[in-house]
């Protein structure tokens, strides 16, 4: 019954997408629609579009056993090179093999025609046209928000339009999403989403020799069952953190995070050159928790969102017996986070619903009125829930208060510095919430046996010239804090690290002894680091390695910069940098892109 109810959530927008023209034809406030010809045209449109939608679902009865997932718009790219004759042979053979489905399709089409109410023999013309038009307009006005809400999957501001990845929220394994989804919805929601195309830069053997996302255990030390807590802070760009900007504006810039500055200075490990893998929240979460970067299109919005995926939660939960939980103070299901958490192995999800149900907290009295529970209260709830968990545990929290409309609780009005951007007082508020969280956590028995990872989902409201470059737009903190391990301290000013390095770093720190797929690398190791992200403004890749940044359009490198000495990208050094370095960087970058695309399109993101 749960799967059936979830299916209705996806069936409703599919029906509305399919019948949008019919709805408009009958809701439009024109009395000319009350004519036999108009009605006959509407009937034909209704039967044709709904029959096509049913045919899509019936075709997946044949196709699904081979693909393991609903057909999406990527099917058009898959068969784009097939000739008309070849396609006719394929479909002809399938029609003969599955004649019973063809017969069922014909019967359903006949049923659509018969069940469509025929035009009445007599139509009484409205005697009072003003009243007729008034009621028609009222019906149209009422229908529009109802249709929009149904298509989006909800009526709250926190609800973004549901997409195929949301099906993961209701199932236990990827193949079951086929029960919840329907084919028309899957195609509609992936139209105009650029499919992942596998480039042929080099042979598979050469690509894997240069780089591989397959991590094999090579550590003889025994696994250390420390707790792992990942804090993903909304919009926490380095721009707003004082520690990273000691020389900014002649050394006068203080930032908005006094607690975080103190933690980094005295107790944590962090990096000067640390980067995000995307520019949106839905791109940050897979990068941080599953070491899956964002290239070309957000994973959440593509057919690959139904691939079998791993992550910290699955590796530690299924293989090491960890309790795993994801926390986000917004409405459950918001932003597709709950779906992704479940798809990557989180056993429990704590959102606004669970917060409201806890008698130790104030429920919706702590709701910010727009998005979520205020960070201060929700962070305390987070600490309390971990105290109740069986150890070891792996948890992740996604904060919410440093987000548009950029307000702080009424009781704190005027307490935090305003800054040059509306966001910055919210950054200061969340920093205070972090301070209170760590005060509470430090009193718990699990605290000293825990590795904390603090990062941001993406940057926001950049100000200074460096932070406004293509590379500056990816500068986020990556902080490792282990209160029980005084050796994990320092400020690395050489290595290049990014969000996808978090998962392999955590697993290496724990001496994890199983193979897994991750596109990052261990930040605490000796291997040379790199950063590779997709820049949507220029539809190109940006690759950081050694002393250089390359900008690559998918075919050729278009520019290069010596980012360590030229932070604002004033001088293109493509023609003057060492050729051997350029060649090595290009080959390494291409091998990463090729293997990413290949694994995405072949559903090869876990060790089988």
456-495 per-position pLDDT tens digit: 999 999 999 999 999 999 999 999 999 999 999 999 999 9
Asked whether residue 375 is domain-assigned, the answer is: yes
| Whether residue 260 sits in one domain with residue 165 | no
| Whether residue 55 sits in one domain with residue 156 | yes
Residue 415 maps to which CATH number? 3.40.720.10
H helix runs in 296-362, sequence order? 312-320, 337-343, 352-357
| C-beta separation of 23 from 12 below 8 A | no
With cut-offs at 50, 70 and 90, classify the pLDDT of residue 87: low
Omega before 363 cis (within 30°)? no
Q: How far is CA 223 from CA 46, 453, 606, in A?
A: 61, 19, 21
Instruction: Read off the pLDDT of residues 213-232 as tens digits, 9 standing for 90 and up.
Output: 999 988 788 999 999 999 99
Lowest mean pLDDT across 77-86, 107-116, 554-563: 77-86
Asked whether residue 542 is domain-assigned, the answer is: no
Q: How far apart are CA 451 and CA 502, in angstroms?
A: 12
Mean pLDDT, the chain, integer = 89
Q: What is the pLDDT of residue 526?
A: 81
Asked whether residue 215 is domain-assigned, the answer is: no
Who's near 106: CB < 8 A, 6+ residues apart?
A: none
Instruction: Read off the pLDDT of residues 137-193 as tens digits, 9 standing for 90 and up.
Output: 888 888 888 888 878 877 776 666 788 778 877 877 666 778 888 888 888 887 776
Q: What is the pLDDT of residue 384?
A: 98
Asked whether residue 89 is domain-assigned, the answer is: yes
| Whether residue 230 sits in one domain with residue 160 | no
Asked whether residue 513 is domain-assigned, the answer is: yes
CA pseudo-torsion sign 275, 521, 336, 307: positive
With cut-offs at 50, 70 and 90, classify the pLDDT of residue 335: confident
Q: Which of 139, 173, 188 is the last residue of a domain?
A: 188
| Whether residue 328 sits in one domain with residue 232 | yes
pTM equals 0.83
Q: Which of 165, 188, 211 is the last residue of a domain?
A: 188
CB neighbour class for 445 (10 Å; exposed up to 12, middle 13-18, buried from 19): exposed
Asked whether residue 202 is domain-assigned, the answer is: no
Range of the domain at 173: 2-188
Instruction: Read off the pLDDT of residues 516-541 as tens digits, 9 standing for 90 and up.
Output: 999 999 999 888 899 999 988 888 99
Query: Tokens 């006949």 appear where?
Result: 110
Count how many residues are written for the chain: 608
Asked whether residue 590 is domain-assigned, the answer is: no
| Whether residue 232 sits in one domain with residue 97 | no
| Whether residue 389 sits in one domain with residue 512 | yes
> What's 266-280 look like in SS3?
HHCEEEEEEECCCCC
| Whether residue 339 sits in one domain with residue 478 | yes
Q: What is the pLDDT of residue 164?
A: 79
Q: What is the pLDDT of residue 92?
A: 72
Q: How many CB atoms lie within 10 A of CB 154?
A: 16
Asked whether residue 559 is domain-assigned, the answer is: no
The two beta strands, 540-545 and 227-233, are: unpaired
Span 241-246, average pLDDT? 96
Buried b (16+ CB within 10 A) or exposed e, 293-318: bbbbbbbbbbbbbbbbbbbbbbbbbe
């Amino acid at each position: 019954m749960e799967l059936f109810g979830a299916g209705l959530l996806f069936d409703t927008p599919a029906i509305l997408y399919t019948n949008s023209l019919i709805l408009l034809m009958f809701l439009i406030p024109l009395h000319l629609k009350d004519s036999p010809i108009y009605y006959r045209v509407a009937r034909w449109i209704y039967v044709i579009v709904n029959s096509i939608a049913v045919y899509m679902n019936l075709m997946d009865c044949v196709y699904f056993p081979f693909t393991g997932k609903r057909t999406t718009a990527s099917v058009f790219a898959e068969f784009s090179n097939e000739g008309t004759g070849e396609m006719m042979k394929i479909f002809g053979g399938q029609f003969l093999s599955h004649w019973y489905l063809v017969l069922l399709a014909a019967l359903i089409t006949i049923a659509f025609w018969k069940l469509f109410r025929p035009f009445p023999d007599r139509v009484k013309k409205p005697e009072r046209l003003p009243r007729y038009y008034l009621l028609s307009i009222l019906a149209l006005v009422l229908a529009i928000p109802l249709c929009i809400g149904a298509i989006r999957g909800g009526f709250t501001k926190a609800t973004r339009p549901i997409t195929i990845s949301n099906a993961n929220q209701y199932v236990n394994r990827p193949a079951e999403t086929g029960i919840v989804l329907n084919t028309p919805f899957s195609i509609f929601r992936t139209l105009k989403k650029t499919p992942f195309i596998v480039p042929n830069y080099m042979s598979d053997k050469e690509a894997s020799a240069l780089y591989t996302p397959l991590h094999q255990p090579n550590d003889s030390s025994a696994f250390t069952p420390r707790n792992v807590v990942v804090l993903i802070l909304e919009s926490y760009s380095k721009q707003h953190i004082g520690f990273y900007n000691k020389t900014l504006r002649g050394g006068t810039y203080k930032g908005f995070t006094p607690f975080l500055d103190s933690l980094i200075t005295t107790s944590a490990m962090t990096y000067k050159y640390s980067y995000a893998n995307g520019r949106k929240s839905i791109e940050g979460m897979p990068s941080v928790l599953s070491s899956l970067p964002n290239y070309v299109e957000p994973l959440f919005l593509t057919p690959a969102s139904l691939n079998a995926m791993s992550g910290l939660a699955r590796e530690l939960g299924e293989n090491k017996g960890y309790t795993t939980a994801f926390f986000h103070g917004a409405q459950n299901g918001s932003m597709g986070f709950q779906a992704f958490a479940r798809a990557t192995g989180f056993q429990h999800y704590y959102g606004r619903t669970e917060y409201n149900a806890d008698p130790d907290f104030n429920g919706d009295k702590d709701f910010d009125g727009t998005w979520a529970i205020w960070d201060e209260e929700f962070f305390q709830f987070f600490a309390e829930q971990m105290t109740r968990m069986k150890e070891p545990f792996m948890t992740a929290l996604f904060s919410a208060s440093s987000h548009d409309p950029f307000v702080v609780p009424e009781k704190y009005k005027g307490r935090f510095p305003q800054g040059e951007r509306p966001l910055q007082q919210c950054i200061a508020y969340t920093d205070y919430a972090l301070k209170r969280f760590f005060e509470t956590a430090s009193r718990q028995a699990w605290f000293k046996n825990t590795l904390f990872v603090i990062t941001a989902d993406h940057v926001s409201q950049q100000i200074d010239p460096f932070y406004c470059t293509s590379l500056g737009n990816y500068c986020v903190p990556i902080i490792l804090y282990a209160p029980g391990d005084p050796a994990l301290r320092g400020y690395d000013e050489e290595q290049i690290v990014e969000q996808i390095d978090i998962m392999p770093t955590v697993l290496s720190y724990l001496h994890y002894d199983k193979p897994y797929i991750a596109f990052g690398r261990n930040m605490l190791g000796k291997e040379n680091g790199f950063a590779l992200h997709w820049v949507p403004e220029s539809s190109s890749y940006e690759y950081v390695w050694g002393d250089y940044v390359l900008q690559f359009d998918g075919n050729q490198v278009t520019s290069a910069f010596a980012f360590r000495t030229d932070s604002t990208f004033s001088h293109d050094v493509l023609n003057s940098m060492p050729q051997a370095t350029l060649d090595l960087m290009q080959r390494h970058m291409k091998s990463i892109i090729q293997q990413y695309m290949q694994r995405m399109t072949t559903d090869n993101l876990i060790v089988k």
